[in-house]
């Protein structure tokens, strides 16, 4: 479980000082010190499954090892009224004095290379309006947002006009969070150690306006070990110095307990990793992907759709087989 975070003045100070040195927006207050820990969503897919299947022999393990851990909630074109969906989620966390983790996943042409999570907003204008509403719904409340997984890794499956449009959308999105969410830290997705080299990714991050975000996120929905991600993240932070600044990073540890086996779409034999916490080699280790939620109709999730909760996959991920 995460350590209690309120009344830890020294820890809060340790976070604020690097924020200035690393080029994070000084106007954005530290959301960590404003809350008493990370938010656990009582309506997550594993929590809902465990509640609906109390007699299942896997339910207790899934409830304890997964559902009761802080995880991100993902928002996209399935979320309906985005202002209402985000506002309700962040409001529930705020009422509990907890810090919510959110993933914005609605960029047009989403998952261009993988394909299993394709979709997103129907146009550039639609996305701009959607992300503006997303940011406005958070408002002054504390939050952590990971912005658009895969968005900077998919360039090989896009033409130059699509790339230019995407960079513009990401840059404007970061601008909306800067102006509308003074107590939110935003991390722009930067792929994983096995995808795009650090120099190229730094160039893309810079072009997408990461200078205006808190930092970048690694390993979202992937399996590389925390150590591999920390090494890559430090290299990537160093590459950003070519543009006159550097940034902290967070790592998705939700499914990296056994590392990667060269596959990304529901590979067998993976295991949950270190639960959400501060530090651990990065600014934060976060459960961004929900363990047990399918990557698509592939691997051990054959016959499923992306985002569908698979209790047998979740159960095996607890034990690493």
Q: How much is the pLDDT for 19?
A: 37
% of the chain beyond a pLDDT of 90? 88
Helix (H) / strand (E) element for 181: namely none
Paired with 252 in beta bridges are 286
pLDDT tens digits, one per residue of 58-113:
999 999 999 999 999 999 999 999 999 999 999 999 999 999 999 999 999 998 99
Give the C-alpha separation, 316 to 321, whole Å: 5
Q: At what angle do helices 124-138 and 82-95 cross, to 10 degrees?
A: 20
Q: Which of 30, 94, 154, 295 is catalytic?
A: 295
The pair of three-digit structure tokens given for residue 236, joined into one six-digit string: 């990537």
Q: 103-136: buried (b, 16+ CB within 10 Å) or exposed (e) per residue?
A: bbbbbbbbbbebebbebbbeeeeebbebbbbbbb
Which whole number is the average pLDDT over 118-145? Answer: 97
13 contacts: CB under 8 Å, gap ≥ 6: none
Known active-site residue 295: yes
Those residues whose C-beta lies under 8 Å from the C-beta of residue 212, and which sit 6 or more positions away, are 25, 171, 174, 175, 178
CA dist 50 and 44 (Å) reads: 10
d(CA 210, CA 57) in angstroms, rounded, equals 45
Annotated binding-site residue numbers for substrate: 74, 195, 222, 264, 289, 293
Q: Angle 129-74-81 (CA atoms, 0-180°, nearest 5)?
A: 40
Mean pLDDT, residues 42-64: 98
Q: Domain residues of the chain, as ranges? A: 9-319
Q: How confident is the model at residue 2 (pLDDT cuts 50, 70, 90)?
A: very low
DSSP symbol at 99: B
- What proportion of the chain, given as a percentage, has pLDDT over 70? 92
Backbone angles phi, psi at 11, to 5 degrees: -65, -40
Q: Quote the tokens at residue 202.
A: 């730094």
- Compute the distance between CA of residue 213 and CA of residue 234 in angstroms, rounded to an integer: 17
- C-alpha 262, offset from chain centre: 21
Catalytic residue flag (residue 128): no
Q: Does domain 9-319 have CATH number 3.20.20.40?
A: yes
Q: Which two tokens stand for residue 37?
A: 């820990």
> Taking the alpha carbons of 155, 164, 246, 110 in that order, is the dihedral positive or negative?
negative
* Catalytic residue of the set 30, 150, 154, 252: 150
Q: Specify the 3-state DSSP secondary structure of 285.
A: strand
Annotated binding site: 74, 195, 222, 264, 289, 293
Instruction: Please tell me the predicted confidence (pLDDT) of residue 93.
Output: 98
């Amino acid at each position: 479980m995460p350590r209690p975070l309120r009344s830890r003045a020294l820890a809060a100070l340790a976070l604020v000082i690097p924020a200035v040195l690393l080029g994070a927006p000084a106007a954005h207050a530290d959301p960590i010190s404003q809350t008493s820990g990370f938010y656990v969503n009582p309506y997550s897919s594993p929590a809902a499954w465990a509640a609906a299947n109390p007699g299942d022999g896997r339910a207790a393990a899934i409830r304890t090892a997964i559902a009761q851990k802080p995880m991100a909630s993902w928002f996209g074109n399935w979320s309906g009224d985005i202002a209402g969906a985000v506002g309700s989620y962040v409001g529930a966390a705020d009422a509990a004095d907890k810090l919510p983790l959110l993933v914005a996943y609605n960029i047009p042409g989403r998952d261009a290379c993988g394909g299993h999570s394709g979709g997103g907003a129907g146009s550039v204008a639609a996305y701009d309006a959607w992300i503006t509403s997303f940011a406005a719904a958070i408002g002054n409340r504390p939050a952590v947002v990971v912005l658009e997984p895969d968005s900077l890794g998919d360039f090989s499956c896009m033409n130059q006009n699509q790339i230019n449009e995407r960079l513009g959308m990401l840059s404007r999105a970061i601008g909306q969070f800067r102006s509308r969410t003074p107590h939110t830290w935003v991390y722009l997705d930067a792929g994983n150690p096995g995808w795009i080299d650090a120099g190229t990714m730094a160039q893309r991050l810079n072009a997408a306006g990461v200078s205006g975000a808190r930092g970048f996120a690694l390993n979202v929905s992937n399996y590389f070990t925390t150590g591999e991600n920390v090494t890559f993240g430090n290299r990537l932070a160093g590459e950003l110095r070519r543009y006159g600044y550097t940034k902290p990073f967070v790592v998705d540890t939700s499914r990296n307990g056994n590392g990667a086996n060269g596959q990304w779409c529901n590979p067998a034999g993976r295991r949950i990793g270190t639960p959400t916490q501060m530090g651990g080699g990065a600014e934060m280790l976060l459960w961004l992907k929900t363990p047990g939620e399918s990557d698509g109709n592939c691997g051990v999730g054959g016959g499923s759709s992306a985002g569908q909760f698979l209790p047998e996959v979740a159960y095996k991920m607890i034990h690493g087989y």
